[in-house]
Amino acid sequence: MWRQASAAALLALAVGYFYHGNPDLPEQILQYIGLPDFQSSPQSQHSLEQVIAAAWETLITLPTHRWSKVAVGVNACVDVVVSGVGLLQAMAVDPGTGLDHEVLHSKEDLKEAFIHYMERGAAAERFFSDPEAFQRIARSAAEYPGAKLYVGGNAALIGQKLATYPDIMVLLCGPVGPKLHEMLDEQIVVPPESLQETDEFHLILEYKAGEQWGSTRAPQANRFIFSHDVTNGEMSSLETFVASLDEFEPDLVVLSGLHMMEGQGKELWEERLKEAVLAISDIRQDIPIHLELASMTDKEYMSSIMQEVIPIVSSIGLNEQELLFLSQAGDGPHADLDAWKGIPDVGRVSDILLWVLEQHGRSEPSSEADLTRIHFHTLAYHILATVDGYWGNQAAAVMAGARVASSQACGLQFVDAGKVELKAPLEFHSSHGEPREKLSLNPAQPVTVWRRGNVTFHLTVVLVCKEPLRTVGLGDAISAEGLVYSELKAQQIE
Ligand SMILES: *[C@@H]1O[C@H](CO)[C@@H](O)[C@H](O)[C@H]1NC(C)=O
Q: Which domains can be identified in the chain, with CATH numbers?
A: 1-39 (no CATH), 76-238 (3.30.1110.20)
3-state secondary structure of 247: helix
Asked if residues 278 and 312 have their Cβ atoms less than 8 Å apart, the reply is no
**Cα gap 23→164, rounded to integer Å:** 34
153 alpha carbon – ligand 1 mean position (Å): 38
**Cα gap 14→17, rounded to integer Å:** 5
pLDDT at 296: 87
Burial 418-455 (b: 16+ CB within 10 A, else e): ebbbbebeeebbbbbeeebeebebebeebbbebebebb
**Cα gap 325→293, rounded to integer Å:** 11
365 alpha carbon – ligand 1 mean position (Å): 7
Ligand 1, atom 10, lies closest to the CA of 364
Confidence check: pLDDT of 447 > 60: yes
pLDDT at 190: 96
Confidence check: pLDDT of 109 > 50: yes
**Cα gap 321→331, rounded to integer Å:** 15
Cis check: omega of the bond before 435, within 30 degrees of 0: yes
Asked if residues 456 and 385 have their Cβ atoms less than 8 Å apart, the reply is yes
Q: Assess whether the C-beta atom of 366 lies below 6 angstroms from ligand 1.
A: no
CA nearest 294: which of 202, 184, 212? 202
pLDDT at 434: 93
Asked if residues 476 and 419 have their Cβ atoms less than 8 Å apart, the reply is no
Q: Assess whether the C-beta atom of 315 lies below 6 angstroms from ligand 1.
A: no
Within 10 Å of residue 365's Cβ, how many Cβ atoms?
Answer: 9
Pocket test for ligand 1, best of 351, 358, 364 (most atoms within 8 A of CB): 364
Residue 470: pLDDT band with limits 50, 70, 90? confident
Q: What is the pLDDT of residues 359-379, one digit of tens each?
A: 999 999 999 999 999 999 999
Within 10 Å of residue 39's Cβ, how many Cβ atoms?
Answer: 12
What is the number of the ligand 1 atom nearest to the C-alpha of 363? 14
Residue 26: pLDDT band with limits 50, 70, 90? very low
CA nearest 326: which of 314, 310, 313? 310
Q: What is the pLDDT of residues 145-162, one digit of tens each?
A: 999 989 999 999 999 999
Q: Is 286 a catalytic residue?
A: no
What is the number of the ligand 1 atom nearest to the C-alpha of 364? 14
Q: Assess whether the C-beta atom of 451 lies below 6 angstroms from ligand 1.
A: no
Give the pLDDT mean for 66-93.
Answer: 95
355 alpha carbon – ligand 1 mean position (Å): 14
454 alpha carbon – ligand 1 mean position (Å): 6
Ligand 1, atom 3, lies closest to the CA of 364
At 139, give phi and psi (nearest 5°): -65, -50
Q: What is the pLDDT of residues 288-324, one digit of tens each?
A: 999 999 888 899 999 999 999 999 999 999 999 999 9
What residues are paired with 357 via a beta bridge?
none
Ligand 1, atom 7, lies closest to the CA of 364
449 alpha carbon – ligand 1 mean position (Å): 19
Q: Assess whether the C-beta atom of 372 lies below 6 angstroms from ligand 1.
A: no
Distance of CA 353 to the CA centre of its chain: 17
Which helix or strand (DSSP H or E) is residue 486 part of? none
What residues are paired with 386 via a beta bridge?
373, 456
Asked if residues 265 and 128 have their Cβ atoms less than 8 Å apart, the reply is no
C-alpha pair distances (Å), 311 with each of 112, 333, 350, 370, 425: 36, 19, 19, 6, 33
